[in-house]
């Protein structure tokens, strides 16, 4: 990396420090230097989290008797034992008796240009009606509800209404095809699915209801479907199952009390792909994910009540719920948008920032790499002076896009708060702060309260070279396990070293103490920030009658970060052809959605495997990318398969 890309690019000004959440917490605790606050937050995670949530005004119906209970071990830590609360109270209801009631809570813009605004008071009324509708439909405490919707106001209302009645919601990416939707509904045994008739993407109708109909055919637990009229498009209708949102919310007039929940009661199952088997359902609780989102948005991003945040995301990705809970808990305003960020012009995102006076903008390196090709003019055509903080998550940066964003989007005055963690974390493991300097692509270090470390193959701390990113102590946002699969949870995160969370990322800490994420250390593929398990791709490919076995890998992509390449070995009687290649690509698109279309499908006679029949994806990737050093291949049963992969490039 050239020297100018290794040097500090941004330093905080007095305006960034003055009035910040971090500065207030430092003053409360008497810390003159941020580094002292960070060390204390890691050394005493109990005291830190208790103090942080007092500082942020978190309210409990009944106080906790113990901050952290490790009776069942670190992997099953219980936070705020004995407390009673409901995330809806902290996100919404506590604001309704204050002047904030008349302040904007959310702003929505549709791809066609329509705009809706809801104040905190109006949002509260919408949630009341939606909660009554859920009760009218028979949804009660502990029931699971799938939410398969784009980012529209009713999506936010549905999330909060589920929590209000004590139900557990499952957010589902709005771009998924029916089989991917169904797999999540089946796994969590959803009783209700909330969706829209459709929405628009690049001016084309996405028939959400049609996709939902096919998904529900494969998910027998779903009894009812609640449909929001978004696109006003024709839909098939099953009168005994389907109900219009506007009819249900108008018909259900009885008030529903907010359920008083235990700190460890679940409110969300959010699915994330892994390297093996079906997608993992990360289970999150009322005193977990929402509190972690609030803490990180406050101290890392410094969102204040007068601010407006817009994160380019979907409810099905972690940053969707994160944006909702964090912004509302802090009394801020958030923008949601259900269209393409470069439609009808490449400047659509910048026009959104200008039009709605966004102060905090969250984007991905993939998006930046795509818009950079159009030059600076689309950015400079808009007034972005409202921006105070830029945010990024989901994948590593490379220096040129980072510097382009810093200079042309933020004007050299806005910090890029790099933020990395995951669905199972409820937020960040490493991050940045508006009170600390930044190098391009870097993280300032661990997020407050996160005992992060970088370790070698033996689990020993290392600096100055790449190692595994781990966490050595629990935190409130850690998933309470995978839905009905406790053994998989322990094996995935706690199985390598005793009482150490292994996250699956390569990381490095440089000589100046800045942290860098270097990509995935497991087989998970990151397509434009979306995590895809290779086994999920492979299971779709082998469902084709011509395919005997398959392997999927992620390869570098100039825009998406990574792209999927599939390798397939055919059954006897079938030959490679362009027609079969296209059929396999369309099979993946039909099952997983257009956003996950593979970069390539390669035909091989054999895939490299060990003597116990395990396909070596990492070896496939090394060979395909032309690496000369392949490591120990002595366990290969069929070394000739390596040459097969090499010839397929």
Give 117-146 pLDDT, tens digit per residue.
999 999 999 999 999 999 999 999 999 999
Local confidence band at 612 (pLDDT 50, 70, 90 cut-offs): very low
Domain with residue 469: its CATH number is 3.40.50.12780
pLDDT of the residue at 2: 45
pLDDT recorded at residue 278: 67
Report whether pLDDT(641) > 90: no
614 located within any domain: yes
Q: What is the pLDDT of residue 566?
A: 95
200 plus 280 within the same structural domain? no
Whether the per-residue pLDDT at 275 is higher than 70: the answer is no
Average pLDDT for 46-66: 98
Instruction: Please give the structure tokens belonging to residue 29.
Output: 């605790």
In this structure, the answer to whether residues 481 and 434 fall within a common structural domain is yes
Both tokens assigned to 512:
């100046």
Rounded Cα distance, 36 and 242, in Å: 56
441 and 563 belong to one structural domain: no
Same domain flag for 531 and 575: yes
Count how many domains the chain has.
3
pLDDT of residue 546: 94
**448-463 mean pLDDT:** 96
pLDDT at 173: 92
Comparing 293 with 571, the larger pLDDT belongs to: 293
- Cβ contact 376:408 at 8 Å: yes
The 3-state DSSP class for residue 195 equals strand
Q: With a cut of 50, say whether residue 3 has pLDDT above it.
A: no
**Closest Cα to residue 318, out of 419, 459, 415, 446?**
419
Confidence of residue 276 (pLDDT cuts 50, 70, 90): very low
Q: What is the pLDDT of residues 573-593, one digit of tens each?
A: 999 999 999 999 999 999 888
Residue 533 pLDDT level (bands cut at 50, 70, 90):
confident
Regarding whether 511 and 471 lie in a shared domain, the answer is yes
- C-alpha span between 50 and 83 (Å, rounded): 12
Do 509 and 393 fall within a single domain? yes
> Is the residue at 102 inside a domain?
no
For residue 297, is it within any domain? yes
Give the span between the Cα atoms of 544 and 542, in whole angstroms.
5
- 196, part of any domain: yes
Q: Domain containing 550 — which CATH number?
A: 3.30.300.30
What pLDDT score does 5 carry? 61
Q: Does residue 80 sit in the same domain as residue 123?
A: no
Is the residue at 100 inside a domain?
no
CA atoms within 13 A on the CB side of 421: 32
Domain holding 191: CATH number? 3.40.50.980
Task: Please say which residue of 228, 259, 290 terminates a domain.
Answer: 259
Collapsing DSSP states into helix, strand and coil, what is residue 332? Answer: coil
- Of the residues 503, 520, 537, the one at which a domain ends: 520
Three-state SS string across 208-257, please? HHHHHHHHHHCCCCCCEEEEECCCCCCCCCCCCCEEEHHHHHHHCCCCCC
Q: What is the structure's pLDDT at 1?
A: 43
The model's pLDDT over 188-226, given as tens digits with 9 standing for 90+, comes to 999 999 999 999 999 999 999 999 999 999 999 999 999
Q: Tell me: the pLDDT tens digits for 353-380?
A: 999 999 999 998 878 888 888 999 999 9
DSSP assignment of 336-399: EE-S-TTSSSTTHHHHHHHHHT-SEEEE-HHHHHHHHTT-SHHHHTS--TT--EEEE-SS---H
Residue 112 placed within a domain: no
Q: Is 394 left (phi over 0), alpha (psi -120 to 50) or beta?
A: left
Tell me, yes or no, whether 386 lies in a domain.
yes
As to burial, measured by CB atoms within 10 angstroms (0-12 exposed, 13-18 middle, 19+ buried), residue 19 is exposed
State percent of the chain over pLDDT 70. Answer: 96
Q: Which domain holds residue 131?
A: 117-259
| Contact (Cβ atoms closer than 8 angstroms) between residue 298 and residue 330 | yes
26 within a domain of the structure (yes/no): yes
Asked if pLDDT for residue 332 goes beyond 70, the answer is yes
Residue 294 shares a structural domain with residue 244 = no
pLDDT value of residue 633 = 63
Other residues' Cβ atoms within 10 Å of the Cβ of residue 329: 25
Please check whether residues 464 and 599 belong to one and the same domain. no
Residue 274 has pLDDT above 70, yes or no: no
Mean pLDDT for all residues in the chain: 93
Q: Are residues 358 and 492 in the same domain?
A: yes
- Which of these three, 200, 234, 259, is where a domain ends? 259
Q: Would you say residue 236 has pLDDT above 90?
A: yes
Q: How far apart are CA 234 and CA 209, in angstroms?
A: 10
Same domain, 554 and 510: no
**Other C-beta atoms lying within 10 Å of the C-beta of residue 484:** 12
Strand-pair category, 192-196 with 467-471: unpaired
Shared domain check, 336 and 298: yes
Burial class (CB in 10 A: 0-12, 13-18, 19+), 419: buried
Q: What is the pLDDT of residues 100-112, one digit of tens each?
A: 999 999 999 999 9
pLDDT of residue 617: 82
């Amino acid at each position: 990396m050239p020297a100018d890309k290794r040097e500090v690019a941004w330093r905080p000004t007095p305006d960034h420090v003055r009035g910040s959440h971090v500065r207030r917490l430092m003053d409360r605790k008497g810390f003159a230097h941020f580094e002292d606050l960070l060390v204390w937050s890691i050394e005493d995670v109990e005291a830190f989290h208790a103090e942080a949530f007092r500082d942020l005004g978190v309210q409990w119906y009944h106080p906790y008797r113990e901050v952290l209970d490790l009776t069942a071990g670190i992997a099953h830590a219980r936070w705020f034992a004995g407390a009673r609360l409901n995330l809806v109270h902290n996100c919404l209801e506590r604001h309704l008796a204050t002047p904030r009631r008349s302040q904007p809570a959310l702003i929505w813009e549709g791809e066609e240009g329509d705009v809706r605004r809801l104040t905190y008071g109006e949002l509260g009324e919408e949630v009341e009606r939606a909660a009554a509708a859920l009760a009218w439909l028979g949804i009660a405490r502990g029931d699971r509800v799938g939410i398969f919707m784009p980012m529209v106001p009713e999506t936010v209302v549905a999330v909060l209404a589920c929590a209000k009645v004590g139900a557990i919601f499952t957010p589902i990416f709005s771009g998924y095809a029916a089989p991917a939707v169904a797999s999540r509904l089946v796994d969590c045994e959803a009783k209700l699915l909330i969706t829209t008739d459709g929405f628009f993407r690049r001016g084309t109708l996405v028939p959400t209801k049609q996709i939902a109909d096919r998904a529900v055919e494969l998910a027998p637990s779903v009894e009812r479907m609640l449909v929001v009229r978004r696109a006003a498009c024709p839909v098939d209708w099953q009168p005994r199952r389907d109900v219009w949102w506007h009819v249900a919310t108008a018909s259900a007039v009885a008030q529903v009390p907010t359920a008083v929940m235990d700190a460890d009661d679940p409110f969300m199952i959010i699915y994330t792909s892994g390297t093996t088997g079906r997608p993992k359902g990360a289970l999150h609780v009322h005193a977990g994910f929402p509190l972690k989102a609030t803490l990180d948005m406050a101290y890392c991003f410094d969102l204040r009540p007068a601010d407006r945040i817009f994160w380019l995301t979907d409810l099905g990705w972690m940053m969707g719920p994160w944006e909702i809970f964090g912004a509302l808990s802090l009394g801020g305003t958030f923008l949601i948008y259900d269209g393409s960020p470069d439609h009808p012009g490449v400047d659509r995102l910048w026009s959104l920032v200008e039009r709605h006076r966004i102060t905090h903008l969250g984007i991905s390196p993939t998006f930046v790499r795509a818009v950079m090709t159009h030059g600076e003019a689309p950015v400079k055509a808009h007034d972005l002076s409202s921006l105070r903080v830029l945010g990024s998550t989901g994948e590593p940066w490379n220096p040129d896009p980072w510097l382009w964003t810093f200079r042309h989007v933020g004007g050299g005055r806005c910090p890029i708060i790099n933020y990395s963690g995951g669905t199972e974390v409820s937020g960040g493991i490493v991050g940045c702060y508006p009170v600390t300097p930044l190098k391009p692509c870097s993280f300032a270090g661990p997020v407050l309260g996160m005992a992060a470390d970088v370790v070698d193959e033996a689990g020993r701390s290392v600096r100055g070279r790449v190692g595994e990113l781990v966490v050595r102590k629990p935190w409130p946002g850690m998933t309470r396990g995978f839905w009905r699969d406790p053994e998989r949870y322990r094996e995935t995160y706690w199985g390598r070293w005793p009482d150490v969370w292994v996250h699956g990322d390569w990381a490095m800490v440089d000589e100046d103490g800045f942290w860098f994420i270097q990509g995935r250390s497991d087989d998970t593929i990151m397509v434009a920030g979306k995590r895809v398990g290779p086994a999920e791709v492979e299971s779709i490919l082998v469902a084709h009658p011509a395919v005997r076995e398959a392997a999927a890998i992620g390869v570098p992509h100039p825009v998406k970060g990574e792209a999927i390449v599939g390798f397939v070995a055919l059954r006897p009687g079938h030959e490679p052809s362009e027609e079969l290649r296209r059929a396999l690509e369309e099979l993946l698109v039909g099952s997983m959605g257009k956003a996950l279309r593979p970069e390539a499908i390669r035909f091989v006679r054999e895939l490299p495997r060990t003597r116990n029949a395990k396909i070596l994806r990492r070896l496939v990737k090394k060979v395909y990318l032309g690496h000369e050093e392949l490591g120990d291949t002595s366990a290969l049963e069929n070394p000739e398969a390596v040459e097969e992969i090499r010839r397929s490039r």
